[in-house]
């Protein structure tokens, strides 16, 4: 009986180790497919809680953008900005703080 249990554990272990492959995703957010482009929009920088997470809120276009490459000098809550960039494909459960956004220009 021990032999059958051992064989079963080996077979199940082999099955799980060989059949589960990592999800094929882009290496970085910037590598993801662009789904929309924003040009010269006006927005405001907002800070999310106590974390070092900042978003661009654009009221006129109803956008909440998680700018993953926001330059340090723009990480100030309440800062008014004019910006351009690419909205990137977002996987399920990634849009908690806004759509993924690649900044191409910001003032």
The pTM score is 0.71
* Mean pLDDT split into 10-residue runs, the chain, 107 residues: 57 49 59 96 94 91 93 97 96 83 97
Pick the CATH number of 26-106 from 2.40.10, 2.40.50, 2.60.40, 1.10.1660: 2.40.50
pLDDT given for residue 101 in this prediction: 96
| Cβ proximity of 49 and 69 under 8 Å | no
Q: What is the domain partition of the chain in residue ranges?
A: 26-106
Q: Please give the full DSSP string across 63-102, using - where no structure is assigned.
A: EEEEETT--GGG--TT-EEEEEEEEEP--TT--TT-EEEE
């Amino acid at each position: 009986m021990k032999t059958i249990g051992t064989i079963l554990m080996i077979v199940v272990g082999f099955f799980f180790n060989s059949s589960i492959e990592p999800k094929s995703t882009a290496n970085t957010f910037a590598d993801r497919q662009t789904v929309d482009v924003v040009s010269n929009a006006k927005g405001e920088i907002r800070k999310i809680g106590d974390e070092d997470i900042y978003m661009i809120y654009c009221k006129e276009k109803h956008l909440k953008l998680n700018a993953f490459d926001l330059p340090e000098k723009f990480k100030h809550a309440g800062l008014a900005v004019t910006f351009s960039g690419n909205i990137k494909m977002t996987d399920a459960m990634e849009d908690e703080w806004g759509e993924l956004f690649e900044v191409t220009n910001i003032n």
